[in-house]
Chains A and B, each alone.
Chain A
């Protein structure tokens, strides 16, 4: 349990799951929630028993977005704490060394939808609804990484209208990657994380980093960067031993 009690977590078989847990508020986002998010995630950064992280709420809702109570500042200090909390919260996701899977259901709006977008992969239940209503208040949404995920046109449509879309539409535009069967959201997301955890964890971490850094490089730079990553892991005897074992299994020279 994180310091402010806004979330629960568990670690099982290489998969860490973080449950947003403010049932009275449908997981609306508060300063405390973002602080707990950073505390919980940063503890798993260097924890070798964690290969991938699932971030979820319940089978009925993920997050209704901003907790409007948060806007009731009593001082500039409180306001600045909110800015720090959100800044470091989303940054933790953006720069997280291990793959993150958002498993979302029901209302997934505003800053809650941003949390999903800042994860690496998104799975939803059939009942999920998405939207960025920020513009209706005159607030700005994060347009990045959204526009890298759904493309510029769909990103514009979503953030400029603030309209809500359902799970099939979110799947169609690529905002989510998969729709889990009804009631099977958590199991599906954890299954996907377990699939990642069953591979080679150090290379999962490396590949996550490659995906992140390559994006900002020109194609030639990304190529030389990618090839040196390959050479480096290839030198590792653990990895060549694994390939030689596979060769022995299939039988040398056959195929």
Chain B
């Protein structure tokens, strides 16, 4: 993969780690970072070494949003092109063909939170703050991403006020899936991303396809679609291999179905 200026990428056990790294701007999204993230995702879309993508900053901050300095100083034409680039980036993330995890620390205002919302799952550090802060600059945050996470009421409260909420409130309303102690964000989110990547690239693409499309079908269409996906899978080599392995382990008293289950004591 090409060398990036503000992005550190590597692949670890099926996880494409996409680490934003522009400390002077606390990872705010400027021209270069937009282009680099788009390029990295394009390269991973059909790379079988990647089954899941992890978006992460560091233990102190994830992404401080859109580059306010660019918005404030560029002319109309520049802002138009900047907005077009944001659309290209958001489409690349929101419609990415494999599962994605966002790992958020520190203040994630505006577009910073929006990027996380466009991923499949967000893991938050206890020091994280989320806000749809664009309204304070007379811009609109990304409502669709917010609404699909937390439902209309919480989404509208955040969208209209722009006021940030902390990690525990974010967990309560369903904006994030897990809160980790400060300093453990990378290890915990990478663990989750690796667990997702265990399915491998062939299943990753099919599962993400279902996750993206089933919610836009009526319930009968979704049933028909999802069970046809099942029938497609049942005819594949990967199914024959895994059903055999799963059955062997079940007979050995070591079921794969409950391998990470926590049983009540």
Residues of A participating in the B interface, judged by any CB pair closer than 8 Å: 76, 80, 84, 216, 235-237
Q: Does B195 contact A (CB under 8 A)?
A: no
Contacts A76-B236, A76-B237, A84-B46; A236 near B202 (Cβ below 8 A): no
Nearest first, the 7 A-B pairs at minimum CB distance are: A76-B237, A237-B76, A76-B236, A80-B202, A236-B80, A84-B46, A236-B76
User: Which B residues from 41 to 80 make CB contacts under 8 A with A?
Assistant: 46, 76, 80
Task: Give B79-103 interface residues, CB cut-off 8 Å to A.
Answer: 80
Q: What's the tally of chain B residues with a CB closer than 8 Å to chain A?
A: 7
Q: Which residues of B contact A84 (CB under 8 A)?
A: 46
Residues of B within 8 A of A76 (CB): 236-237
Number of A-B contacts (CB under 8 A): 9
Q: Complex: how many Å from CA A216 to CA B76?
A: 31
Across the interface, which residues of B come within 8 angstroms of A235, CB to CB? 76
- Judged by DSSP, the binding face of B is helix
Of all chain A residues, the one with the shortest Cβ separation from B216 is A216
Q: How far, in angstroms, from A76 to B236 measured CA to CA in the complex? A: 8
Residues of A with C-beta under 8 A to B236:
76
Tell me the minimal C-beta distance from A164 to chain B in angstroms: 29
Within 8 A of A (CB), among B216-253: 216, 236-237
- 4 extra interchain contacts, Cβ-Cβ under 8 A, other than A76-B236, A80-B202? A84-B46, A216-B216, A235-B76, A236-B76
Binding site for A on B (CB under 8 A): 46, 76, 80, 202, 216, 236-237
Which residues in B have their C-beta under 8 angstroms from that of A216?
Answer: 216
Chain A nearest CB from B84 CB (Å) reads 9
How far does the Cβ of A222 sit from chain B's closest Cβ, in whole Å? 16
A residues within 8 A CB of B202? 80
List 9 A–B pairs whose Cβ atoms lie within 8 Å, in order of A's numbering.
A76-B236, A76-B237, A80-B202, A84-B46, A216-B216, A235-B76, A236-B76, A236-B80, A237-B76
| B76 contact set on A, CB distance < 8 A | 235-237
Q: Which residue on chain B has the smallest CB distance to residue A83?
A: B232
Residue of B nearest to A88 (CB): B46
A213 to chain B, nearest CB (A): 12
Inter-chain CA distance A230–B76, complex, in Å, is: 17
Q: Which residue of B lies closest to A232 (CB)?
A: B80
Q: Give bound CA distance, A237 to B77, whole Å.
A: 9
Q: Which residue of chain A lies nearest to B83 when distances are taken between CB atoms in the complex?
A: A232
Q: Roughly how many angstroms separate A216 CA and B216 CA in the complex, as a whole number?
A: 10
By a CB distance below 8 angstroms, the chain A residues around B80 are: 236
How far, in whole Å, are A84 and B46 apart by their CA atoms in the complex?
9
- List residues of chain B with CB within 8 A of the CB of A80: 202
CA of A113 to CA of B231 in the docked complex: distance in angstroms?
Answer: 27
B46 vs chain A, min Cβ distance (A): 7
Give the residues in chain B near A237, CB-CB below 8 Å.
Answer: 76
Nearest Cβ on chain A to B90's Cβ, whole angstroms? 14
A134 to chain B minimum Cβ distance, whole angstroms, is 16
CA distance A237 to B80 in the complex (A): 12
**Taking the nearest CB of chain A, how far is it from the CB of B80, in angstroms?**
7
* Residue of B whose beta carbon sits closest to that of A235: B76
**B76 nearest in chain A by CB position:** A237
Closest to A80 in B: B202
Residues of A within 8 A of B216 (CB): 216
Complex: A76 Cα to B202 Cα, angstroms: 12
Docked pose: A120 CA to B92 CA in angstroms:
23
Instruction: Provide the bound-state CA to CA distance between A131 and B237, in Å.
Output: 34
- Cα–Cα, bound, A237→B236 (Å): 56
Closest-CB distance, A16 to chain B (whole angstroms): 20
Q: State the Cβ distance, B243 to closest chain A Cβ, in Å.
A: 16
A238's nearest neighbour on chain B, judged by CB, is B77
The CA-CA distance from A166 to B202 in the complex, in Å, is 41
Q: Closest CB-CB distance, A94 to chain B, in whole Å? A: 12
A84 to B205, CA, bound (A): 10
Distance of A204 from chain B, by nearest CB (Å): 15
Please give me the residue from chain A that is nearest to B80 by CB atom: A236
Q: Return the chain A residue nearest B209 by Cβ.
A: A87
CB distance from B83 to the nearest CB of A (A): 9
Question: What B residues does A236 contact at CB under 8 A?
Answer: 76, 80
Give min CB distance, B44 to chain A, whole Å.
15
Report Cα–Cα, A80/B236, bound state, in Å: 9
A235–B236 Cα distance when bound, in Å, is 53
Complex contacts, B237 vs chain A, CB 8 Å: 76
Alpha-carbon separation in the docked complex, A80 to B80 (Å):
41
Minimal beta-carbon separation of B116 from chain A (angstroms): 24
